[in-house]
């Protein structure tokens, strides 16, 4: 599920928004900063950077300050049942989204790997996630999660210059 937004390398784009802990099966970050998604967020960033390094690209900085906005976008998209529905709310230029997965851990092993395996190649519509992950116009990435009361995990990765 991809939404085109910029012409930069035919980059595919999507979104994030502001975190709001609602009926999530996992607790929202607490006032003391305890983030139940912290480890998997870092694993997503590390995985993207490892994949980028495998083709000689520099690492993306982890824009963790944008995670609350990205979390909220995952929440909104899950509630609307539409991937990329809140795109653009957080100033991102591209987005990859993993909608409705069964486990948080499957985001890295399933969704990110699947997106990477899309590319490179033509037609563009079949390689957009890969293009986002390898686009040298992006230098930062944020990672958002939301787990519904039914246990379905929505993850959003936003890319920034």
β-sheet bridge partners, residue 145:
155
pTM for the predicted model, two decimal places: 0.79
pLDDT at 60: 98
Please tell me the predicted confidence (pLDDT) of residue 127.
Answer: 87
- Looking up tokens 């979104």 gives 15
Q: How far apart are CA 77 and CA 110, in angstroms?
A: 19
* Residue 30, pLDDT score: 45
The H or E element spanning position 97 is strand 94-101
Which mean pLDDT values do the consecutive 10-residue runs of the chain (161 residues) have?
Answer: 28 26 40 82 96 97 96 94 85 93 87 92 82 96 96 95 97
Six token digits for residue 136: 């040298």
Q: What pLDDT sits at residue 32?
A: 55
Q: How many CB atoms lie within 10 A of CB 100?
A: 15
CB hemisphere CA count around 88 (13 angstroms):
5
Distance CA 133, CA 48 (A): 7
With tokens 């990672």, the residue in question is 143
């Amino acid at each position: 599920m991809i939404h085109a937004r910029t012409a930069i390398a035919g980059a595919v784009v999507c979104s994030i928004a502001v975190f709001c802990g609602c009926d999530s099966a996992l607790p929202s970050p607490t006032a003391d900063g305890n983030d139940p998604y912290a480890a998997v967020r870092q694993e997503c960033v590390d995985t993207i950077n490892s994949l980028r390094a495998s083709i000689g690209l520099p690492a993306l900085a982890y824009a963790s300050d944008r995670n609350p906005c990205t979390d909220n976008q995952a929440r909104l998209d899950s509630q609307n049942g539409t991937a990329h529905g809140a795109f653009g709310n957080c100033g991102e230029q591209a987005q990859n989204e993993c909608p409705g997965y069964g486990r948080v851990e499957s985001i890295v092993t399933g969704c990110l790997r699947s997106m990477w395996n899309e590319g490179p190649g033509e037609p563009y519509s079949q390689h957009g996630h890969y293009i986002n992950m390898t686009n040298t116009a992006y230098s930062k990435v944020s990672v958002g999660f939301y787990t519904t009361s039914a246990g379905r995990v929505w993850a959003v990765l936003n890319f920034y210059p």
